[in-house]
Structure 1
């Protein structure tokens, strides 16, 4: 068997119906390239391995889990990458889809990795701590709407699919979980540049309670700052608003 490592944020899904539901949420067709992040004990891996005609790989940092998976599921031999997703290079040439019960302690960083890989990752199905899933899917005007919401929604359509009760895991986490699906937009937000857009969004939300004119002062000319939009707070702006502002930055 294997041991649970709290340092890696490991909580293993044991509810078989939930495992199937997560896998079913990922649309796949023959010839599709699919990457699973953090397979752990193989709860959803075994269902992914059953999908005919896909090119499957999994990435797992924990060497003990890699050895367990190779012994338990012989079909996974040669498909496992033993490293952190945060350090990984692109696992495929061309387009691929990503799925996982993401380690909660690095789930936000995984989403930034998805942004880095967005030209090749067209669909993501992931399980997160519920509050992170809600944050990613939140719209403007919501207290959960923030940096991650705007950056991801500029490039992906986000769907909050379903909640996963803590009793579906071993050991049960102290938080509820949520599964979301990201589908890359055919027409992403019209941003001036990734650098400008990221700086704008992060700067705006770092002082989210203040009118935008204060935190954004260094990024715009005085004349531009007279626009009434700068009397709003960050959470009142849509993704399209941020995209439009990125073109007016110094």
Structure 2
């Protein structure tokens, strides 16, 4: 069953591609079926094709939408949401305040142009988000779920997999959107794992991951030179001869501790 998208005009500047296939909307909403009772924040609901099923399945739903035309449509058609339609920019929100400091699940048909930024924000609020699911550009979804050794394995793969178990669920073709995007979409689900402490300096690890993947053709030994004190002699360690896409999350943790020790030793000697 398809829905009409005549009521709100998709805006290119906002990266809007409205889903028109209700069966797919239902399948995406079902990704949170294990979290009935946990509040849900939906990003970019548009005209509520996904919202409708989240409400129908019994979720306590709040939506955040930057498009004022969509906000007006939602207020007119989803009166049951009352004051839980937020006309804000998700990327600028303090999510702990928006959800009253409670744990919540995040879901959405995420705008392609900000999907990576959305998932970096998930990292910032990982202790409040036990589950995050939804649809985004297939290439980005595959990157998030990629394993070490894959060409698509990258910064988001490592940083998110440190804290979440990630499933690539299914692919969505271009013809079920208005307007059709030029790429396929993928639906993924992130479920918070049991990790509470990485066993390393998490901020330093984030810097190392970004630095090494920013120079992914170089070996680790060459790409981390700017992160260690001048004149510091690198030890004979097999991690340093690898490229970043070859390192697992655990190996990045080991690398972070190695660099941390080198910095600490250099500081003692200065």
Alignment TM-score, normalising by the size of structure 1: 0.95
Q: Which runs of 4+ in 1 moved over 6 A?
A: none
- Against the structure 1 CA distance between its residues 106 and 134, is the aligned structure 2 distance closer, same or farther, given a 3 Å change threshold? same
Q: Which runs of 5+ in 2 are unaligned?
A: 1-6, 264-270
Distance, in Å, in 2 between the alignment partners of 1:11 and 1:224 is 49
User: Please, what is the CA RMSD of the aligned residues?
Assistant: 1.4
Shift of residue 167, structure 1, vs aligned partner: 1.0
Matched, 1:174 2:182: yes
Distance, in Å, in 1 between the alignment partners of 2:35 and 2:138 is 29
CA contact (8 A) 1:154 1:189 kept: no
- Against the structure 1 CA distance between its residues 231 and 189, is the aligned structure 2 distance closer, same or farther, given a 3 Å change threshold? farther
Distance, in Å, in 2 between the alignment partners of 1:30 and 1:22 is 14
Q: Which runs of 5+ in 1 are unaligned?
A: none
Aligned to 1:70: 75
CA contact (8 A) 2:10 2:178 kept: no
Aligned to 2:163: 155
- Against the structure 1 CA distance between its residues 63 and 191, is the aligned structure 2 distance closer, same or farther, given a 3 Å change threshold? farther
- Against the structure 1 CA distance between its residues 29 and 200, is the aligned structure 2 distance closer, same or farther, given a 3 Å change threshold? closer
Aligned to 1:117: 125
Q: Between Structure 1 and Structure 2, whose CA radius of gyration is higher?
A: 2
Aligned pairs for 1:75-114 (under 5 A) are 75-90=80-95, 91-92=98-99, 93-114=101-122
Distance, in Å, in 1 between the alignment partners of 2:244 and 2:35 is 40
Aligned to 1:236: 246
How many residues are matched?
249
Distance, in Å, in 2 between the alignment partners of 1:160 and 1:225 is 38
CA contact (8 A) 2:17 2:177 kept: yes
Deviations 1:113-148 (A, max 9, x none): 100110100100121100000000000100000111
Aligned to 2:54: 48
Aligned to 2:219: 211
